[in-house]
């Protein structure tokens, strides 16, 4: 009899395993449909419910229906700008749809209102890539709509600094084209009297129109680049010299309005070792060319050097070049080299960390970073088709599992490696004492008491 | 034989396409587990092993009502080195059928469970050692009992937000019928009537920082049991639990603490069963390695009987989780090391253990 029972059990298990996949495949569809239906009903019942819109958006995102995810998520953000989960998933959905501007805005919103520290860290890393992609997309769009965009001119105080033209005999100095532009952008932004276009945006335009690829940039091309970015003034710098002992740095300022050069563009000549002195003089001359007076304190701030080490600055410039080309591992390595050469080089440290984090960043990592957090509970609920925000269902499930425990609880609550505590007991073993793990053979003894 | 057919039918039902059952959602869980503990070394060393294959089917019917059905196949064995005899028990355990009905918007849950006696009863003497050893509160085997008799449990759970906390309160009453637990000498049977049980639970949970914190206490009050004509009480139980889980880097951290207290009681032999306490702390850190979630953990467990140290156990384990198709696969391996302390101090017995689990979920 027992043999038959075991055979039956084996047969049942084999049957279960054999039949389960098709059943499960159907189940996934049914489950999804059921969860979606629940969420749609919840939103229809209360179209301005943050929880309902957020849950529906998350569900659509999880189902890879990114376009459909955006509308409810954006509405949830509108209804409650402090809702971090809506911002996070709005950012993820926008990124999947390659709307990088919306993704950046949503991610930045999460950094402001989100509650999960690990998610903020992942998003900060993700923003490096999103910002870059946004700049590329904007550049492509600008070139495609050049005629239309060229009609809109920026004010003279909106300044774009193009990559420097480098004409030195040693090609190892070529990455200074980005490093010097980066340093000049930083200096021009310091007094707060100019709107300086971010280097990523300028580099994206430069890449899009193949600016400077030939090593020669004429005024017309520089002005074209500036107009595509909608800058009012364009700064085109150059570094020229037959040897490191005799180099000249110049920065011409062009007006996007007139295409004419503005100011005098006083050249600075010196040895390469005095590169930073020359850059500071160039920064002052740009302000002079734009007729912007500076206070002594502002001049002092501009004169502050991020590093004194030419070697560190060269490594930093190589890092920018690698980052622009999408080689984030190389970028992280070069920024690290810059930091090693000058441990006080703050920008190098910042970029090294950002590049290191960005190279392993994925949208999946952003999503998983809120697992096991309070915000992650909202996401898990949405996947089940629940709009609950308070987690009361989890509380209830726990109580039910403890007051009426079954093997199901034991199996579903294995959140840790060693399983849950003993919620069920073996009454007969405890009554007979055979549950004690002593080094003896168990024996059942009963004393029959006289009534 | 008829009782064995019940879980078989349930299994077959679970394997059917759920759409055909008119069920909107469902989960099937299968979790084979192997656990082995060795006490002492050399001749006389005792080994207790359990191979358990629990399985569960969760079937929601609409938004408010769900049923879960669970049972297990288990094989437990007690062997002593140098001894030609061993104790082995094998077969299906009881089947638990539970229905939960949610009231309001997660306001309360009414729960009703039935324990169907599909397990092993009238256990022969040769199998009784194995049947008892798996019930240890200290070692916590995956299937602690081969059968507990036909029983019904009814209860209610209520949850309310209180400030930034969620408060959960619940209570239940369990009534069991008598059953033939063991076969005794001279063709007698141990007719066992478990006492009624009242359980109450109070719990709180809330977000803390990036994570979630939960704590709760469950108290079980038992009526007197009866073994043939003898009545006795095995002692009330209290289980306190606290858990904190939070993201950590790209993974997570879980800290879980529980403490089980069983009050002084009596045995069927007439002797007293001293109070015991098992305290456990577990720290697990999970991280993602490619598409696989890896969660190593360390656990320390202390067992006290009648105020003296009775056992110490350290469990080290690694759990993995990955998805393949619609399957979520969770294999776990673990190693245990510890000691048992003799009553009144003095001698100790080394414990070594091994655990392997393969939990599979079909969503």
pLDDT tens, B7-64? Answer: 444 443 333 333 333 334 578 889 899 999 999 988 889 999 999 999 999 998 876 8
- In this structure, the strands spanning B211-222 and B197-208 are antiparallel
Nearest CA in chain A to B340: A438
Closest CB to A418 among B211, B334, B363: B334
Alpha-carbon distance of A101 to A135, in angstroms, equals 9
Q: Does B53 touch chain A (CB under 8 A)?
A: yes
Cross-chain Cβ contact A15/B11 below 8 Å: yes
Cross-chain Cβ contact A400/B63 below 8 Å: no
Which H, E and C letters describe B196-220, residue by residue? CEEEEEEEEEEEECCEEEEEEEEEE
Where does A152-305 sit in CATH, by number?
3.40.50.10070
B219-241: per-residue pLDDT in tens? 999 998 888 888 888 889 999 99
**Is-contact A412 B55, C-beta < 8 A?**
no
Q: What letter does residue B45 receive in the DSSP assignment?
A: -
CATH 1.25.40.10 fits A20-144, yes or no: yes
Check residue A405 and give left, alpha or beta (phi > 0: left; psi -120 to 50: alpha): beta
Q: Which residues contact B353 (CB under 8 A, 6 or more apart)?
A: B35, B36, B37, B38, B139, B313, B315, B334, B335, B336, B337, B338
Residues of B in contact with A422 (CB under 8 A): 137, 140, 144, 239, 260
What's the burial of A354, exposed, middle or buried (CB within 10 Å: 0-12/13-18/19+)? buried
Predicted structure pTM score: 0.59
The pLDDT-based confidence of A108 (bands split at 50, 70, 90) is very high
Q: Which residues in chain B (54-93) have CB-CB distances under 8 A to chain A?
A: 54-56, 58, 63, 68-73, 78, 80, 87, 90-93
pLDDT > 90: what percent of chain A? 42
B171-211: per-residue pLDDT in tens? 999 999 999 998 887 778 889 999 999 999 999 988 776 67
| pLDDT for residue A29 | 34
B138-156: per-residue pLDDT in tens? 999 999 999 999 999 999 9
Where does B2-362 sit in CATH, by number?
2.40.160
**Is-contact A281 A299, C-beta < 8 A?**
no
CA-based nearest residue to B311, from A185, A439, A117, A4: A439
Q: Which residues in chain B (88-107) have CB-CB distances under 8 A to chain A?
A: 90-93, 96, 98, 100, 102, 105-106
A411, A424, A433, A441: best mutation site toward chain B, by most B Cβ within 10 Å?
A: A411
Cross-chain Cβ contact A411/B359 below 8 Å: yes
B63-112: per-residue pLDDT in tens? 688 999 999 999 999 999 988 889 999 999 999 999 999 887 678 999 99
Cross-chain Cβ contact A437/B181 below 8 Å: no
Closest CB to A9 among B44, B73, B267: B73
Q: Does B205 touch chain A (CB under 8 A)?
A: yes
Rounded (5°) CA angle A240-A243-A246: 70
B256 pLDDT higher than 70 = yes
Domain boundaries, chain B: 2-362
B257-283: per-residue pLDDT in tens? 999 999 998 888 778 889 999 999 999
- In this structure, the strands spanning B151-162 and B108-116 are antiparallel
Q: How far is CA A14 from CA A20, B8, B10, in A?
A: 10, 11, 14
Alpha-carbon distance of A46 to B77, in angstroms, equals 58
Domain boundaries, chain A: 20-144, 152-305, 307-359
CA-based nearest residue to B176, from B284, B63, B96, B296: B96
Closest CB to B170 among A27, A399, A435: A399
ipTM confidence: 0.88
Q: Does B227 touch chain A (CB under 8 A)?
A: yes
Tokens 């192997």 correspond to: B34
Alpha-carbon distance of B70 to B97, in angstroms, equals 7
Tokens 């949208």 correspond to: A363
A328-350: per-residue pLDDT in tens? 889 999 999 999 999 999 999 99
| pLDDT for residue A239 | 93
């Amino acid at each position: 009899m027992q043999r038959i029972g075991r055979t039956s059990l084996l047969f049942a298990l084999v049957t279960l395993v054999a039949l389960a996949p098709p059943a499960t495949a159907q189940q996934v569809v049914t489950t999804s449909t059921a969860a979606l239906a629940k969420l749609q009903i919840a939103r229809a019942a209360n179209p301005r419910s943050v929880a309902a819109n957020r849950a529906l958006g998350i569900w659509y995102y999880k189902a890879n229906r990114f376009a459909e995810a955006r509308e409810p998520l954006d509405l949830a953000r509108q209804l409650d700008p402090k809702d971090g989960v809506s911002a996070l998933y709005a950012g993820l959905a926008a990124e999947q749809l390659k709307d990088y501007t919306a993704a950046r805005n949503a991610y930045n919103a999460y950094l402001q209102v989100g509650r999960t520290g690990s998610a903020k860290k992942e998003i900060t890393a993700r923003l490096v890539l999103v910002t870059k992609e946004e700049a590329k997309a904007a550049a492509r769009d600008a070139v495609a709509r050049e005629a239309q965009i060229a009609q809109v001119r920026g004010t003279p105080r909106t300044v774009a600094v193009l990559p420097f033209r480098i004409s030195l005999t040693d090609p190892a100095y070529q990455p200074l084209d980005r490093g010097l532009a980066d340093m000049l952008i930083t200096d021009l932004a310091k007094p707060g009297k100019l709107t300086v276009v971010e280097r990523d945006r300028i580099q994206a335009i430069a890449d899009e129109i193949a600016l400077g690829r030939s090593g020669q940039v004429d005024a017309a091309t520089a002005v074209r680049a500036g107009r595509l970015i909608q800058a009012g003034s364009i700064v085109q710098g150059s570094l020229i010299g037959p040897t490191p002992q005799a180099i000249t740095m110049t920065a011409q300022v062009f007006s996007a309005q007139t295409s004419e050069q503005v100011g005098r563009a006083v050249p600075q000549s010196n040895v390469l070792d005095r590169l930073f002195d020359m850059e500071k003089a160039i920064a002052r001359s740009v302000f002079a060319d734009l007729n912007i007076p500076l206070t002594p304190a502002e001049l002092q701030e501009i004169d502050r050097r991020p590093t004194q080490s030419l070697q560190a600055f060269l490594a930093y410039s190589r890092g920018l070049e690698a980052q622009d080309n999408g080689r984030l591992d190389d970028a992280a390595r070069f920024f690290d080299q810059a930091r090693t050469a000058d441990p006080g080089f703050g920008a190098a440290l910042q970029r090294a960390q950002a590049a290191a984090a960005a190279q392993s960043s994925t949208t999946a990592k952003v999503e998983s970073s809120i697992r096991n957090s309070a915000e992650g509970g909202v996401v898990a609920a949405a996947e089940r088709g629940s709009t609950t925000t308070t987690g009361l269902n989890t509380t209830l499930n726990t109580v039910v599992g403890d007051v009426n425990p079954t093997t199901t609880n034991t199996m579903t609550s294995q959140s840790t490696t060693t399983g849950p505590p003993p919620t069920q007991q073996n009454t007969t073993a405890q009554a007979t004492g055979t549950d004690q793990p002593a080094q003896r053979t168990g024996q059942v003894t009963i004393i029959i008491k006289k009534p | 034989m008829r009782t064995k057919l019940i879980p078989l039918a349930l299994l077959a039902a679970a394997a059917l396409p759920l759409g055909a059952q008119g069920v909107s959602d469902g989960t099937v869980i299968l979790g084979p587990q192997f656990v082995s503990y060795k006490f002492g070394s050399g001749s006389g060393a005792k080994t207790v092993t359990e191979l358990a294959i629990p399985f569960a089917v969760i079937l929601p019917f609409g938004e408010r009502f769900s049923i879960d059905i669970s049972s297990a196949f288990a094989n437990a064995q007690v062997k002593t080195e140098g001894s030609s005899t061993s104790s082995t028990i094998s077969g299906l355990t009881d089947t638990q059928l539970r229905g939960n009905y949610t009231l309001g918007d997660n306001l309360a849950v009414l729960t009703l469970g039935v324990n169907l006696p599909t397990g092993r009863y009238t256990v022969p003497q040769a199998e009784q050692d194995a049947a008892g050893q798996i019930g240890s509160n200290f070692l916590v085997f995956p299937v602690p009992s081969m059968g507990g008799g036909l029983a019904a449990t009814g209860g209610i759970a209520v949850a309310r937000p209180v400030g930034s906390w969620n408060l959960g309160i619940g209570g239940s009453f369990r009534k069991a019928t008598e059953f033939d637990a063991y076969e005794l000498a001279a063709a007698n049977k141990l007719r066992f009537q478990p006492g009624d049980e009242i359980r109450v639970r109070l719990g709180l949970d809330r977000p803390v920082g990036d994570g979630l914190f939960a704590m709760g206490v469950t108290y079980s009050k038992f009526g007197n049991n009866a073994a043939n004509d003898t009545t006795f009480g095995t002692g009330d139980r209290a289980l306190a639990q606290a858990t904190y889980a939070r993201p950590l880097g790209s993974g997570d951290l879980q800290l879980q603490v529980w403490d089980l207290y069983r009050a002084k009681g009596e045995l069927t032999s007439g002797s007293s069963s001293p109070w015991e306490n098992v305290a456990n702390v577990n720290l697990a850190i999970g991280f993602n390695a490619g598409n696989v979630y890896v969660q190593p953990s360390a656990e320390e467990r202390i067992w006290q009987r009648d105020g003296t140290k009775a056992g110490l156990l350290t469990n080290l384990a690694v759990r993995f989780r990955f998805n393949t198709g619609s399957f979520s696969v969770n294999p776990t391996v673990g190693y245990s090391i510890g000691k048992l302390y003799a009553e009144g101090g003095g001698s100790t017995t080394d414990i070594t253990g091994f655990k392997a689990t393969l939990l599979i979920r079909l969503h």
